[in-house]
Amino acid sequence: MRKTASLTENEARYLKLIYRAWEDSRQLGTTDIARILGVQPPSVTEVLQILHSKGLLRYKRYKKIEITKLGIKVAGKLLRRHRILEVYFADILKCSPEEACEEASRVDFHFSDRAIDALSRIYSTRTCPCGKHIPVRSQVLREREHTSSVPNRVVFSSEHQRRYP
């Protein structure tokens, strides 16, 4: 089973969180992440430094975190998996977007691209159950341009990703 880059599941959680903020044109700081994930700021700093050293984000103490192009690409892949799985779980469990997100969060990191591609052929939707855009394999980098050309991008109030990053 191939995993994205050489990320641990925990690092992937952080990266997904930072990517989601980036999608909404927001930037997070260490304390934001500590609050959202319910962990101590020093552990956040530790993970951010690792992600920085892997070239996925730019992190400086007391500054907001900036995701890099590589980070966008890697996180886009992770969110693609997550959101396609949300679509799948919402369908088979007939559950709410929040529950689908929770289920997807349990397993998304471990799914292979092959399995995700197969699921994406079954479900042709471009959005997840909570209305977020599902990154397309090759379009992950182009998504930013797309995002900024659509200023009224819908931001969903449920923000359930805060609970299940």
Q: How far is the CB of 144 from Zn ion (least distance, A)?
A: 19
Residue closer to Zn ion (CB basis): 44 or 165: 165
Q: Is 23 in the site for Zn ion (CB under 5 A)?
A: no
CA distance 67 to 23: 11
CA distance 109 to 16: 11
**Residue from 44, 51, 90, 130 in contact with Zn ion (CB under 5 A):** 130
Q: Please count the residues of this chain forming the interface with Zn ion, following the rule CB under 5 A.
A: 4
Q: Is 12 in the site for Zn ion (CB under 5 A)?
A: no
**Residue from 23, 86, 103, 143 in contact with Zn ion (CB under 5 A):** 86
Q: Is 90 in the site for Zn ion (CB under 5 A)?
A: no
C-beta of residue 30 within 8 angstroms of C-beta of residue 45: yes
Strands, E assignment, 14-86: 57-58, 66-67
By CB atoms closer than 10 A (0-12, 13-18, 19+), residue 144 is middle
C-beta of residue 57 within 8 angstroms of C-beta of residue 51: yes
Residue closer to Zn ion (CB basis): 72 or 104: 104
Q: State the residues that interact with Zn ion by CB under 5 A.
A: 86, 128, 130, 132
